C-alpha cells in the first residue's frame, strides 16, 4: 500500500499554547489524544488505514504548534497477520 502524495500541513502559526498551558490542560490534551489514537483509531499497523489516520492526526496536531509539518511517503507491498494476537 502506498500513501498518497507527500502531504504538507502549513500552519499560520496558530497559538495553541492554551491546550497545554497548565498541568490540568496537559492532562486533558493527552487523555484526548490517547483516546483518539488508542480507542477510536485502534491498532496502527504499517500500511493500514488506521496508520494513515493516526499520521494525519499527529501532523494536524503538530501544525498547531510549528510552521510546517510533512508526511513522508513510502511503499509497502503487503501486510498480513501471521497468527492471532495474544492480547
pLDDT of residue 34: 94
pLDDT of residue 13: 53
With contact defined as beta carbons under 8 Å apart, do 19 and 29 qualify? yes
Q: What is the pLDDT of residues 2-55, one digit of tens each?
A: 334 334 444 455 677 888 889 999 999 999 999 999 999 999 988 889 999 999
Long-range contacts of 42-45 (CB under 8 A, 24+ apart): 45/79
In this prediction the pTM is 0.66
pLDDT of residue 30: 92
Question: Which is nearest to 60 in space by CA: 1, 2, 19?
Answer: 19
By three-state DSSP, how is residue 68 classified?
strand
With contact defined as beta carbons under 8 Å apart, do 2 and 79 qualify? no
Three cell numbers, residue 34: 490517547
Amino acid at each position: 500500500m502506498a500513501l498518497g502524495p507527500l502531504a504538507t500541513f502549513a500552519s499560520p502559526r496558530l497559538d495553541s499554547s492554551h491546550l497545554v498551558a497548565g498541568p490540568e490542560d496537559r492532562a486533558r490534551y493527552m487523555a484526548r489524544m490517547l483516546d483518539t489514537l488508542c480507542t477510536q483509531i485502534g491498532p496502527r499497523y504499517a500500511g493500514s488505514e488506521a496508520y494513515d489516520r493516526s499520521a494525519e492526526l499527529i501532523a494536524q496536531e503538530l501544525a498547531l504548534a510549528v510552521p510546517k509539518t510533512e508526511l513522508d511517503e513510502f511503499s509497502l507491498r503487503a501486510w498480513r497477520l501471521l497468527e492471532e494476537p495474544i492480547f
